[in-house]
Every structure is written in C-alpha cells, then in structure tokens.
C-alpha cells in the first residue's frame, strides 16, 4: 500500500491495489501535523487534495498502529466515515511517530514484569523504567492496591492525571490490566470479540502456571523441593501438551499463525522465568515441545533477542536452588 514518500488512499472497506490512488501530500508534512496533534489541519489538507471525500458528517478518530512481525514496516491508518457511509483508509508511509506520543512510565520493585517489558520492547514504545525500590512502606501507600507494577500514561502535553483519564492520561495498576492495556493499544490482541476471547483464554492458561515456582516460603525446604520436582516432571509437561497442540494447528510459528499476539510474549516471559529458576532443567527444554521451542526461538531471533541478552533486568531478587525460594541479592 505504500508508494514512496506519498500518502495512499482508497475508498471502501477493502483495500486492493487496483483501488488505490495517490494523494500528493509528502509524508514529512503529515508527520509534522501528527506529531503536533493537528488532526483537524491534516483532515482539511486531505479534503482539499482529494475531492472524493465529500463533506464529512461524522469524524471518529481511530488511529492505530500494527507491527505484524519483527522487521516489518509499521503501518498507520486513519479511518474516517464520509456522508456516503463509506470508510476511507489512509496509509501513512514510513512514519515512526504516527500520533502525539504518550509517555509510558513503568514502576517496579523486586520482581520483573517480563510480559509488560516484552510488550513495550516488541512494539518499540517509548517508555521510562523506574526502580520502585527504597522506602517500600511509603511507596505502598501511593499504590491503588498496595503493590506494583504501576504504569503511568502521560499526555503528549506533559500532564499526568491520576483521576479518570479524559485526555488519555493516568495510572494503571496490576500486571494483567497493564498487559491487556498495552495489548489493546499496540495491536497485540485481536479486534474480533470471539478471536480476542480465544486469545485471552490462552493467556489465562499460561498465567495459571506462571506463579507456581513461588511456593510458600513457610514450608520446609524438603517439601518445597518435592513440590518443584512434581511441577517440573508432571504439571508443566501436562499443561504444555495442550499448547503444543494449539500451535500445531495455528498455521504459523505463533498462536495466531503469522501474527505475534500477547499470548506469544506471555509464553516467552514464562520461559525466561523458568530459565531463571530451573536453569538446565527448564521444563520447556526438557520435554519434546518443538512448536513451543520454535515460537520462543523465532521471537528471540528478532529484536527481542537483543533485549533479553543485553537489557533484561534480573531484578533485586534471585532464585536460591537449595532453599527453593526467591531471596534478595
């Protein structure tokens, strides 16, 4: 759909090569308008450049960006309903900044929020990583549910609002809520309700085995050791057989075939946690799970590989294999 340094336009719900016609507006001009938040000026410029729009009676800004696979160009679309009831789709070529960029600040304490960080890295979102350590008693009082992580979304104009976000700013607590927010925002969840529910069901199943390594520290070490042995030998292999079956039928390396979605990043985060805890006895590597391993290796072969190898924060706790519990470094 891209043609050099120009905008490409089509009317109708389906974009085909035959339907495309070029609007003569340099993408540098469009980028300037988007980065400045001048949406109305952009629409006026488009109106004056293409008479086929007619007069708009309804303007619903629906900007979104998708990145189907690592290494592919980012596509930005603006959907606008005309008086004829048709949708015009405008593809913006090669724009890094497609809309006024909200600043994301992620505040953590002891444990990593791997899924969240993988989402931010994979979608190339600009974010600030904040170590929430220090006076935890004071920090806890600032949190909505008394715990972290906390994601702060700051408006392009620099204002952050802790109340209901009329302009897209505010704070989000709880890992699952942050994961789903970023998934929705960056196209890591399907838009179709049925497909989205299917994706979330996979996500839920993965989360069910995510925290099992954190057995109660009050238990005797020998009991914790037995629980982990059972977990590695029985629980994980049984659970992952279902995921292996899903991937065999997906038609690609990922749960959704060729598109990376939130469950894929959740599986990678789970694998990384198992590497931290179990090392060579990682239950993914120890069992015959070629589809799961292919998914993980495909993700690590892209831009996430550099993040995992060079910049993934191990946190301030580590796994003690003799005590079978997390301890502060």
Query: Is it the case that residue 59 has pLDDT exceeding 60?
Result: no
CA distance 219 to 110: 22
Q: How far is CA 45 from CA 1, 88, 97, in A?
A: 20, 15, 19
- Mean of the per-residue pLDDT values of the chain: 65
Sheet with 75-81, side-by-side order of all strands: 21-26, 6-11, 87-92, 75-81, 63-66
Q: Report angle CA 162, 176, 186 to the nearest 5 degrees.
A: 80
Q: Cβ contacts of residue 27 below 8 Å, gap of 6+?
A: 5, 6, 7, 92, 93, 94, 95
pLDDT (average), residues 223-229? 82
Query: Is it the case that residue 224 has pLDDT exceeding 90?
Result: no
Structure tokens at 21: 């016609």
- Under the banding of pLDDT at 50, 70 and 90, the label for residue 318 is confident
pLDDT at 90: 40
Domains and CATH numbers, the chain: 6-92 (3.10.50), 103-184 (3.40.30.10), 189-328 (1.20.1050.10)
* Beta partners for residue 106, in sequence order: 129, 151
Query: Is it the case that residue 306 has pLDDT exceeding 60?
Result: yes
Nearest to 129 by CA among 328, 317, 315: 315
pLDDT at 185: 84
- pLDDT higher at 7 or 44: 44
- pLDDT higher at 190 or 132: 190
Are residues 244 and 289 in contact, defined by beta-carbon separation less than 8 angstroms?
yes
- Under the banding of pLDDT at 50, 70 and 90, the label for residue 300 is very high
pLDDT (average), residues 71-83? 34
CA distance 126 to 103: 7
Query: Of the given ranges (116-125, 144-153, 228-237, 285-294), which has the lowest mean pLDDT?
Result: 144-153
* Beta partners for residue 90, in sequence order: 9, 78
- Under the banding of pLDDT at 50, 70 and 90, the label for residue 186 is confident
CA distance 62 to 80: 8
Q: Cβ contacts of residue 299 below 8 Å, gap of 6+?
A: 70, 260, 264, 265, 268, 305
């Amino acid at each position: 759909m891209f043609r050099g340094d120009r905008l490409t336009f089509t009317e109708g719900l389906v974009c085909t090569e035959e339907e495309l016609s070029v609007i003569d507006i340099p993408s540098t001009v469009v980028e300037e308008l988007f980065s400045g938040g001048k949406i109305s000026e952009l629409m006026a410029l488009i109106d004056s450049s293409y008479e086929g729009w007619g007069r708009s009676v309804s303007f619903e800004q629906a900007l979104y960006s998708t990145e189907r696979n690592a290494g592919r160009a980012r596509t930005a679309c603006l959907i606008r309903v005309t008086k004829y009831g048709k949708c015009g789709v405008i593809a913006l070529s090669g724009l890094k900044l497609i809309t006024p960029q909200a600043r994301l600040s992620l505040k953590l304490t002891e444990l990593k929020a791997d899924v969240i960080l993988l989402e931010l890295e994979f979608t190339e979102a600009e974010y600030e990583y904040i170590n929430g350590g220090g006076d935890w008693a004071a920090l806890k009082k600032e949190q909505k549910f008394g715990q972290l992580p906390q994601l702060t979304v700051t408006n392009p104009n620099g204002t952050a609002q802790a109340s209901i976000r009329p302009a897209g700013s505010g704070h989000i607590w709880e890992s699952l809520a942050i994961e789903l927010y970023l998934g929705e925002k960056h196209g890591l969840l399907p838009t179709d309700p049925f497909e989205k529910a299917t994706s979330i069901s996979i996500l839920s199943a993965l989360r069910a085995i995510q925290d099992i390594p954190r057995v109660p520290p009050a238990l005797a070490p020998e009991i914790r050791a037995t629980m982990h042995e059972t977990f590695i030998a029985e629980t994980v292999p049984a659970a992952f057989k279902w995921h292996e079956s899903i991937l065999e039928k997906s038609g690609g390396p990922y749960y959704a075939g060729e598109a990376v979605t939130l469950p894929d990043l959740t599986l990678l985060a789970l694998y990384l946690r198992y590497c931290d805890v179990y090392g060579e006895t990682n239950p993914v590597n120890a069992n015959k799970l070629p589809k799961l391993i292919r998914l993980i290796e495909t993700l690590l072969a892209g831009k996430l590989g550099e993040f995992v190898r060079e910049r993934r924060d191990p946190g301030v706790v580590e796994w003690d294999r003799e005590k079978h519990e997390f301890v502060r470094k």
